[in-house]
């Protein structure tokens, strides 16, 4: 504790010297953290210092490239640690890679970012593994205390996480009607909890209060989520896009290196939906609902083996999965460059490998890629 306090004082003195909005602070913290990795005692001190700096209200100026702070937290036996980074470092920062390799057991991922008005109020996303391969998400706005869950695969997992964090649920945001996305709606719905869901599927959403569709907005905290129509997996599937936070919750419409099965929609509808998502900025962080990436990677490789970035990404994915680490969330810019379901109109290699013929529309080719994935046994 004395060591932690001493380290915290050093950082605060450094902050006072450089000023509250000097961008050298994050790098100074990263160097401090790395210098203290050589012993568990000193690493604890470094983490305590980082947490303290957050508690005194430091935030960086925002720009179109970087929105405040972002962080990833991992929970291991009830102990959470947080290290600052920018959104662009989410997938490939060496600092995080080192931390990821040190963590085992139940894992969740949390992203926090300063709001777009340069305030330090946190917008946090806790990623909660549920059922066999689902991910649920708890979104928290620190300034207002609003807390939302995105889909409800499992009451117990959510209830434990909410109690551990001391957050009170206020919103349920359903993306579509499937049971592993709405199954815990009624158990979680209590006084003061509002259930939002797709208008096209309103009769299939347990406990729904507000039905929304493409172009609508859901107020949350000091922000709001834009509703994007992403039908195809189910007819009325929607996504929740927090533009000022650069995050989108896509349910089963888009996966890391994949997309959902086309149970109710048509190739034309689904391709239009994926183009809606593809039109979002590259910096957007994509939170999907399943850990399907390893299987998706094998299929992606079969239809576009000439994509060098895809090959490199597959190596990273397999390395993560071998250590039991999540591959979600992902970066939308990377998805645009490597996900075959977003590339049917830009990759001749994909079109050739799924048997596209002259005269096929882009939605026709998408349908062929989706059919090829449905029958893939790699």
- Catalytic residue check, 21: no
CA-based torsion, 328, 330, 335, 338: positive or negative:
negative
Catalytic residue, candidates 171, 177, 233, 237: 233
Catalytic residue, candidates 140, 237, 241, 290: 290
- Catalytic residue check, 140: no
- Catalytic residue check, 171: no
For residues 289 and 193, give the distance between their C-alpha atoms in angstroms, rounded to a whole number: 22
CA-based torsion, 34, 38, 44, 45: positive or negative:
negative
Q: Is 38 exposed, middle or buried (0-12, 13-18, 19+ CB in 10 A)?
A: exposed
Catalytic residue, candidates 140, 146, 177, 181: 181
- Tokens 């994949």: give the residue: 258
Catalytic residue, candidates 140, 171, 176, 237: 176
Catalytic residue, candidates 146, 177, 178, 237: 178
Contact 231, 305 (CB under 8 A): no
ω into residue 329 within 30 of 0, thus cis? Answer: yes
Catalytic residue, candidates 140, 180, 229, 237: 180
Show Cβ contacts of residue 258 under 8 Å, excluding neighbours closer than 6 positions: 292, 293, 295, 296, 299, 300, 339, 341, 373
- Catalytic residue check, 177: no
Which two structure tokens, joined as six digits, stand for 137?
């998400």
For the chain, the residue count is 378
Q: Is 308 exposed, middle or buried (0-12, 13-18, 19+ CB in 10 A)?
A: exposed
For residues 343 and 271, give the distance between their C-alpha atoms in angstroms, rounded to a whole number: 11
CA-based torsion, 78, 84, 89, 95: positive or negative:
negative
For residues 207 and 145, give the distance between their C-alpha atoms in angstroms, rounded to a whole number: 22
- Catalytic residue check, 244: no
Which two structure tokens, joined as six digits, stand for 264?
């109710």
93 secondary structure, DSSP code: -
Cα–Cα distance list, 54 to 57, 165, 221 (Å): 5, 17, 20
Rg from Cα positions in the chain: 21
Q: Produce one character per residue of 277-299: b if its CB has 16 or more CB atoms within 10 Å, e if not.
A: bbebeebbbbbbbbbbbbbbbeb
Long-range (24+ apart) CB contacts under 8 A made by 26-32 are: 26/60, 26/69, 26/84, 26/85, 26/86, 29/53, 29/84, 30/83, 30/84, 30/95, 32/7
Could you list the active site residues? 176, 178, 180-181, 233, 252, 290
């Amino acid at each position: 504790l004395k060591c932690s306090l001493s380290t915290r004082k050093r950082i605060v003195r450094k902050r006072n010297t450089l000023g509250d909005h000097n961008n050298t602070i994050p790098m100074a913290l990263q160097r401090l953290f790395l210098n203290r990795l050589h012993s568990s005692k000193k690493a604890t001190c470094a983490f305590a210092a980082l947490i303290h700096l957050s508690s005194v209200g430091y935030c960086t100026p925002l720009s179109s490239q970087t929105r405040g702070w972002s962080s990833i937290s991992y929970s291991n036996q009830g102990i959470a640690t947080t290290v600052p980074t920018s959104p662009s470092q989410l997938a490939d920062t060496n600092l995080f890679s080192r931390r990821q390799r040190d963590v085992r057991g139940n894992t969740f991922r949390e992203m926090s970012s300063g709001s777009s008005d340069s305030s330090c109020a946190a917008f946090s996303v806790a990623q909660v593994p549920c059922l066999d391969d689902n991910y649920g998400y708890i979104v928290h706005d620190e300034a207002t205390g609003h807390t939302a869950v995105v889909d409800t695969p499992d009451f117990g997992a959510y209830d434990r996480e909410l109690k551990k964090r001391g957050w009170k649920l206020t919103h349920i945001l359903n993306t579509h009607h499937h049971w592993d996305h709405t199954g815990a709606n009624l158990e979680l719905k209590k006084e003061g909890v509002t259930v939002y869901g797709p208008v096209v599927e309103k009769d299939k959403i347990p406990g729904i209060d507000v039905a929304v569709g493409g172009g609508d907005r859901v107020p949350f905290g000091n922000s709001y989520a834009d509703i994007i129509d992403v039908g195809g997996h189910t007819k009325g599937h929607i996504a929740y896009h927090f533009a000022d936070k650069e995050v989108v919750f896509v349910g089963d419409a888009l996966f890391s290196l994949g997309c959902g099965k086309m149970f109710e929609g048509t190739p034309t509808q689904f391709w239009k939906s994926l183009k809606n998502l593809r039109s979002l900025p590259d910096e957007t962080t994509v939170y999907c609902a399943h850990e399907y990436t390893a299987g998706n990677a094998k299929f992606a490789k079969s239809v576009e083996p000439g994509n060098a970035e895809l090959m490199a990404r597959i190596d990273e994915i397999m390395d993560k999965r071998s250590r039991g680490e999540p591959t979600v969330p992902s970066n939308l810019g990377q998805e645009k460059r490597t996900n075959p379901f977003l590339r049917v109109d830009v990759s001749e290699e994909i079109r050739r490998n799924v048997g596209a013929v002259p005269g096929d529309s882009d939605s026709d080719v998408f349908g062929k890629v989706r059919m090829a994935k449905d029958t893939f046994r790699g």
